[in-house]
Structure 1
């Protein structure tokens, strides 16, 4: 991408940014909450591109002046200083251009959203449930390190520990854009706690990461929802309380079900279940729209079969392998303690590289 093209593309983005800035103070736009939320979100997302544009234009101007000085300055000492400055500015220009190419990659509009995560024990029985619990702890540690917040929506405990299924909300800055790479089947190879002969077993757990649907994303009518109340239960099936505070919501037109029993308040359970229901309906509609794109959600898989894996956790070798980018990390204990940033960043870089390739060939 040449200098002129970069300035033109970034300049058009800045023009659009300024137009949005005028719109979001328009009383008519403010009165239309759906439009106001959408425009405010877009305005914020464009800020880094506009900053990059201003910085790049200033750098190009400084580089031009330094080149003129290096060519025309009569004082030899000043000419040498100008030449050194040209070399430094050209190096900085190359760095900025690389960063701008990444900024101009079209964003997934869902990246800035919160996320709803589901972890389910797959192949491997009790050991799969225990591993699902290990994954939940890993994500919780990572989420805490980011200053994000976890809220459990629903749990189905394993008979020997861990979870047959756990659903939880993650709220914070650009949560979905960071965690979306975790969707898929995670495989573990280790000696289970229940193994008496020291044999290594292979088990699996499925992780699903969905962008939390906002109220403005889907229109879910109260008349289309059937509400059922029941008593919450805990590990082993014992009753947590004797009030009917747990909520199960069924979206009648689609048959999609969401439930929540983690809160003591019936109202809180209803709010969380509704958030999950809305997200699942939004995801279903999104999948319909993007069905023609075979690459969408390519890392998302619905089964717990150990063959459909995105990552393997090998305890005997202390190794974590991500099969999508063929990356190995030999820090399994730290990884399981939430130190997953390096892997997530590598996945993001790989995805951006693919998008850059696509943009060049188009």
Structure 2
């Protein structure tokens, strides 16, 4: 087989694969060695090769942190990588090129998890070129990222409310898409989740408080909120109390309001920046939201656009509510 495949003896560990052995009718012999080319080759040629000669390691090899640590440190030293450059150097492509696919698989394809295992607490996620798929789906990862980011930059309790979109656009833009996806663009929600030991006042985030104590992001939302609280008959009006996940676009949506009345549910959303040329991304995401909300069988969407509020006031909003089946006080004022 080696002659047919033109493989030199010293290249056997790296070039002889399971597929090659099966192709040359060694499948029965492989089964006696747990389908492991490494074990089969070591059986045929005892003491000729060490584990380091093989790309593929024996089952359970990467579960031993000593083996993981040795492989990573050897790679760093061999390539002369400076300590501060390790996160940028240690990419998925680099590890695969070094024959460490099995190691990657053991750590869910994440160089970040490998480096954390080898050097616990030494580096944070912001130092790596990119995070693995699904990394931000974990609330723990999102919380740890912000806490580490703040700790390394000396950002204390009083400065936290200033961490908004404008701040991260200037200092660390990579966080913006994560907040857009998982907190519906609401940075204060990320901050509050990440620092539960602190109590924040609404005004610190420029939030407004409705007549029932629920929080609103803008004066327009506050007016709509208070109107709904006063005028919806025998129903429950909840502000930002639900989370929906749009799997197609990997986005989390938090409706402005969910109204429950007479066994039915409505999502009421105010798209205050819809159509803005300055915030094109907002309109694009709003369109995805509306499409997603319309797909929910248990909810009816009521979309309030800027013109509905600013030009026609509550008269248009009343019409939207009534036409979609929500009962409101018939004597309610249409004046703001």
| Bin of the TM-score, shorter chain as denominator length | under 0.3
Higher normalized contact order (CA 8 Å, seq sep 6+, divided by chain length): 1
Higher Cα Rg: structure 1 or 2? Answer: 2
Q: TM-score scaled to structure 1, two decimals? A: 0.19
| TM-score (norm: length of structure 2) | 0.20
Higher strand share: 1
